[in-house]
Amino acid sequence: NQIQNLKLNMINCEINYYNLNELKEIKKNINNISVIKNYNIKSISNKKIEYDIFFYGNFKILNNLFNIHKLKINYTSNICKISLI
C-alpha cells in the first residue's frame, strides 16, 4: 500500500475534551499518525481547541488511521470533530 505524498490536504477540526489527561492522550495519538505533517491551533476556548490539520493522502485513509490510533473523527457538513474512542 502506498500513500500519496505529493499533495498536502488540510482539514479544520475541533477537539472537545473533559480534562487535561484526555487532551494529552488525543494529541499523543495524533502525533503517532504518520500521514499528518503538522497541525496548528486555530482557536482555544473552554475544553475545546480548534486545529488546522495538514495531512497526506485522502480522508478515507486518515479516518482509518485515526481508528487504528483509538481516535474517532466525525466529518459531516464541513464540521470535523475528534475524540477518543
Q: What is the pLDDT of residue 6?
A: 78
Per DSSP bridges, beta strands 8-16 and 48-56 are: antiparallel
Q: Rounded mean pLDDT of the chain?
A: 93
Which whole number is the average pLDDT over 39-57?
96
Cell of 43: 482557536
Convert the pLDDT of each residue in 10-42 to its tens digit: 999 999 999 999 999 999 999 999 999 999 999
Instruction: Judge whether residue 56 has pLDDT over 80.
Output: yes
H/E segment holding residue 68? helix 59-68
